[in-house]
Structure 1
Amino acid sequence: MSELENEIEKRRTFAIISHPDAGKTTLTEKLLLFGGAIHVAGAVKSNKIKKTATSDWMEIEKQRGISVATSVMGFDYDGYKINILDTPGHQDFAEDTFRTLTAVDSVIIVVDSAKGVEMQTRKLMEVCRMRHTPVMIFVNKMDRDGKDPFDLLDELEEELKISVCPLSWPIDSGQKFRGVYNIFQEKLDLYTPSKQTITESVEFKDISSPELEGYIGDNLAAKLREDIDLIEGVYPPLNIEDYLKGQIAPVFFGSALNNFGVKELLDCFVQIAPSPRPVEAVERIVKPDEEAFTGFIFKIHANMDPNHRSCIAFVKICSGKFERNVNYKHVRQNRMLKFSSPTAFMAQKKETVDEAFAGDIVGLPDTGNFKIGDTLTSGENLHFKGLPSFSPEMFKYIENADPMKAKQLQKGVDQLMDEGVAQLFTNQYTGRKIIGTVGQLQFEVIQYRLLHEYGAQCRWEPISLFKACWIESDNKDQLAEFKKRKAQYMAFDKDGRDVFLADSNYVLMMAQQDFSDIKFHFTSEF
């Protein structure tokens, strides 16, 4: 096995996704704790303790207690190199999460035991299904009163449209929660509420043995045996092939806040989760163990360090080995670039890396060279696909509230738009700038970040629009006629492409009917 193959085999790159408040960031913290990457878990919600969660470091995230940007963290565990991407659960930031899913090899979904599957989780699962991404499920908050575990399994199968396979099983729940039986490792893990970790973990191959009563009492022992019988009768044993194809999801139960059941999830995960997989480019399929380096930009983050106005472009390495100070080709600009300070992340703490391998995520300092979806290679012309911008559904005019700071506003808006937080349209008729987003919360985040990171004040003015669509046509006359007739509703996106801003569904339908040679696109990738 070559060094390259060996490095790739050790890598596990995954995203943690869920509905807001299911405990995703808490789970991320606990995984980092096992990797020795952090020593104290930040209490995300409590204001008494001033340590906030490691992965939520932007000011606005600390104030609101939610994640608004995907953060990337790497650590070593048990001989594996693990890269976690903690994604925003809030639906207003779904686009960031959709893009992140293009950069991972597998996914862990966190489900709240009391609330079950929520809408956002369902949407994200659709993206995983579309891409055949392997999925594992962690049912969190078992130490609180929740739904019956069997009902939860039914709900997971029905709502997420995937077969499930429980690999651990809870012994009671809520106040009476006693622990889990780990089916995967054949162990009994007992839980003591005040201890915050497993107090006792016992090898237990045969649960029909009378010793079980000694640990959890007669009633619970009888119930556990009954449950396990039922599980063996109803659910298929774990078939790793099916898991890797994204057809079956292993399920674990635990409590992330109390660090219970997390290590079991991690141990199983590193064993069965896929190492980096081949990635589809427009030209061909790229395999991770190819010698030549390739990678694509899936996220751009402005101002990771507020003292330096720097942007960081996140690159997912698809094949080969990335080295510092080596020339790589920027395919869209058709020029060579080299990077003297590529970084790897531990949330906001970054360190310079000399080399990285397929599956790793590397941050490159960006002075405006990159856009989301850009490809870097050792020289080959490749284009990776599947990083769309969606058509926004909410629109506002952005106006400068402080004439002295026009430059700062311009720069701030440009950088934040490159991040893909929202989209900027310039009206071709009036020249006014319009921001389009997929959720209301993004307007607040933009205003807040413009003020705190760029010192620029903006104000929003209402505009009533229904949808933005990119238009193209081979029929030049019809296109010219359309643009003339709809002059007030035509805009440019930040790449200078024509966008039609329809003010109602009816207008859009009529336009599609009247101008049959024009194609209307609802994502920017066509």
Structure 2
Amino acid sequence: TRKLMEVCRMRKTPVIVFVNKMDRDGKDPFDLLDEIEEELHINVRPLSWPIDMGQRFRGVYNIYEQKLNLYTPSKQYVTENVEFKDINSPELENYIDAGQAEKLRSDIELIEGVYPEFDVDTYLKGDIAPVFFGSALNNFGVKELLDCFINIAPSPRPVSAVERVVDPEEDAFSGFVFKIHANMDPNHRSCIAFVKICSGRFERNANYKHVRFGKMMRFSSPTAFMAQKKEVVDEAFAGDIIGLPDTGNFKIGDTLTSGEELHFKGLPSFSPEMFKYIENADPMKAKQLNKGIEQLMDEGVAQLFTNQFNGRKIIGTVGQLQFEVIQYRLLHEYGAQCKWEPISLYKACWIESDNTAALENFKRRKAQYMALDKEGRDVYLADSGYVLMMAQQDFPDIKFHFTSEF
């Protein structure tokens, strides 16, 4: 989540926060808001507020619409929806007990006094995140979030390419691959490349230019997804997400256009925080293992580095769970078994320099810790924070990047 929020801050992407499981006892809502601001480095503004929590949970007050939504356990819908322009009205006690009503009034007064008034423009700039409370399992509080989202969500916005800024109102089609999902159907080893349409209109069976390959491609079965359902679409427009069958032609960040040479920036890869050597546990399945690693890395599950000193493959992730996911998917989707070998590393840094001699000198001095990522770029694997700091001081001509987008 922290890494995702870094991407949102880089992209100025608006964010809405939903605080779940209010039907269970937990932290005080104000403490949760403080924690969200501290951990995710974003300003928040509650647009709904819980009436107690756990077994005493009675619902939420929708600040955005000034409505009281009452909750009854075991019923997966809003029991009663009451409009309250003034929560100081004594009628509030007809729906919740006096103690809860008094606390709700004092909480709302504190919110109005401490948090800035919600402004849609500030939200669209990514400077503030509205917060809603509820219980998703009971489908309570979710509708309020979705209704608000419909009202305040941004329309398709201009997207920056290397060459120029692309306006969504343009007639010419353009879009970029932001996600690849391997093995949508394990029986057929199918991959889907998800494309965000930036401008124009996408049409089924029309020819579009794959900019990296420099060739025209035609797609006969583009799909749109809604939860687990998918259907073939004949057309799509700016802001839509479509899935295109991928046989190894796409990488994250690839651009499709009507013919223009455009290069959109893909999602950045952040410097991993956990590293392990990956080894083949079954020599008879080396081919399956290599294919599985290649597809999972293209999908963005983790990052692959090849140590230039010993040629061994290193997997870098931001959490332990990703190692378990990779091992499980390799076994169940590719029939390959892998094993992990710990390696003590602190951080991976992409390096570059305008001074070729200085770059070669650095790579020679740090040969044991140099690697290549899957794009063939130089990566320095620092084994401690102190070593990284000293490297930055000793080699001022070297630029150290902590994301792959530079």
- Provide the TM-score with structure 1 as the length reference: 0.69
- Give 1:323 deviation, angstroms: 1.4
| Amino acid in structure 2 at the alignment position of 1:290 | E
| Amino acid in structure 2 at the alignment position of 1:259 | N
Q: Deviations over 1:53-102 (max 9, x none)?
A: xxxxxxxxxxxxxxxxxxxxxxxxxxxxxxxxxxxx5x7xx5xxx3xxxx
C-alpha contact (below 8 Å) 1:304/1:348 kept by paired residues = no
Secondary structure of 1:216's counterpart equals coil
| Amino acid in structure 1 at the alignment position of 2:127 | Q
More off after superposition, 446-455 vs 226-235: 226-235
Whole-angstrom CA distance in 2 between matches of 1:422 and 1:231? 40
- For the pair 1:190 / 2:70, whether they are aligned, the reply is yes
| Amino acid in structure 2 at the alignment position of 1:303 | N
| Distance 1:182-1:348 versus aligned 2 partners, 3 A rule | closer
> 1:278-427 maps to which residues of 2 (within 5 A)?
278-385=158-265, 387-427=267-307
Secondary structure of 2:162's counterpart equals coil
- Give 1:430 deviation, angstroms: 3.4
| Distance 1:348-1:304 versus aligned 2 partners, 3 A rule | farther
More off after superposition, 290-299 vs 140-149: 140-149
- Provide the TM-score with structure 2 as the length reference: 0.88
- For the pair 1:499 / 2:388, whether they are aligned, the reply is no
Q: Deviations over 1:310-356 (max 9, x none)?
A: 22111111111111111111222222212111111134432211111
Gaps of 5+ in 2: none
Q: Deviations over 1:379-429 (max 9, x none)?
A: 122222252222333333322222222211221111111112222223334
C-alpha contact (below 8 Å) 1:296/1:376 kept by paired residues = yes
Secondary structure of 2:186's counterpart equals coil
Match of 1:128 in 2: 8
Gaps of 5+ in 1: 1-88, 99-123
* Matching residue within 330, 341, 348 for 1:468: 348
Match of 1:35 in 2: none
- For the pair 1:179 / 2:59, whether they are aligned, the reply is yes
Match of 2:312 in 1: 432
Secondary structure of 2:329's counterpart equals helix
Whole-angstrom CA distance in 1 between matches of 2:8 and 2:96? 39
> 1:64-213 maps to which residues of 2 (within 5 A)?
94=3, 98=4, 124=5, 126-153=6-33, 156=36, 162-213=42-93
| Distance 1:361-1:220 versus aligned 2 partners, 3 A rule | same
Number of equivalenced pairs: 406
| Distance 1:190-1:388 versus aligned 2 partners, 3 A rule | closer
> 1:265-276 maps to which residues of 2 (within 5 A)?
265-276=145-156
Backbone CA RMSD of aligned residues: 2.8
| Amino acid in structure 1 at the alignment position of 2:122 | D
- For the pair 1:263 / 2:137, whether they are aligned, the reply is no
- Give 1:453 deviation, angstroms: 0.9
Whole-angstrom CA distance in 1 between matches of 2:324 and 2:389? 32
Match of 1:456 in 2: 336
Match of 2:326 in 1: 446
C-alpha contact (below 8 Å) 2:177/2:266 kept by paired residues = no
Whole-angstrom CA distance in 2 between matches of 1:479 and 1:230? 56
More off after superposition, 298-307 vs 348-357: 348-357
| Amino acid in structure 1 at the alignment position of 2:239 | G
Whole-angstrom CA distance in 2 between matches of 1:479 and 1:385? 25
| Amino acid in structure 2 at the alignment position of 1:346 | M
Whole-angstrom CA distance in 2 between matches of 1:183 and 1:302? 42
| Amino acid in structure 2 at the alignment position of 1:338 | R
- Give 1:226 deviation, angstroms: 4.7
Whole-angstrom CA distance in 2 between matches of 1:289 and 1:442? 39
Match of 1:11 in 2: none
C-alpha contact (below 8 Å) 2:176/2:253 kept by paired residues = yes
| Distance 1:356-1:458 versus aligned 2 partners, 3 A rule | same
Whole-angstrom CA distance in 2 between matches of 1:159 and 1:432? 35
Secondary structure of 1:411's counterpart equals helix
> 1:227-266 maps to which residues of 2 (within 5 A)?
227-266=107-146
Secondary structure of 1:198's counterpart equals coil
| Amino acid in structure 1 at the alignment position of 2:214 | N
Whole-angstrom CA distance in 2 between matches of 1:185 and 1:375? 41
Secondary structure of 2:305's counterpart equals strand
- Give 1:307 deviation, angstroms: 0.8
C-alpha contact (below 8 Å) 1:391/1:468 kept by paired residues = yes
> 1:506-521 maps to which residues of 2 (within 5 A)?
506-521=386-401
More off after superposition, 405-414 vs 132-141: 132-141
| Amino acid in structure 2 at the alignment position of 1:378 | S
| Distance 1:405-1:157 versus aligned 2 partners, 3 A rule | closer
Secondary structure of 1:424's counterpart equals strand
C-alpha contact (below 8 Å) 1:451/1:457 kept by paired residues = yes
